[in-house]
Amino acid sequence: MLVTVTHTETDGHWPASWSQARARALGRWLEYAARQLGLSDWTVLVDLSNPADDDTHASVLIHPAQRAAELFIHERFLTLTARQQRHTLVHELLHLHLNPIEHTSTAALTGTLADDLLEMHSRTLHHEIEWRADMLAAVLAPTVTLPGVSDGQVTAAGSPPASVRKASSLLAVDGR
């Protein structure tokens, strides 16, 4: 998997809570997790500044024909515990596996159902896929850890320095 971590801030600076070291740690963790989840052939662009939905910690926009995705992570993601962060990221990565079900089903029914029925089908299927991604993430997320990581914390050096050993965040680096 190729992971590129970026941001869309116009001033050219990283969002306040995202140091470059933290962004690199996120990229390494996502590459490792993607391999563990069988997603090695995907390309993911991670945007740290513009989530697709205002009420989420993260969301993903999938381009199945290119085996590419855009993962949007909101700054509030960093307020989650390590366990919640891992669950959120695995949940979003699982959508890369589950999206073809939603996409294929909706495409197959387009033109065969009335628009209101197709919309109802799409919303229901989306809800069901979200639920399944959440349930699968609950089972799989605890198994996706990096070698050299203590207590689920990812740091730039692999082994957490003393300043972050007690941090509650998966991506705690630079004493934050």
Question: What is the Cα–Cα distance from 117 to 18, expressed in whole angstroms?
Answer: 43
Q: What is the pLDDT of residues 42-55, one digit of tens each?
A: 999 998 876 556 67
Q: How far apart are CA 40 and CA 36, in angstroms?
A: 8
For 57-104, how does the pLDDT look when each residue is reduced to its tens digit (9 = 90+)? Answer: 899 999 988 999 999 988 888 888 888 999 999 999 999 999 989 888
Q: Output the pTM of the full model.
A: 0.79
Dihedral angle over CA of 15, 156, 136, 98, nearest 10: 60
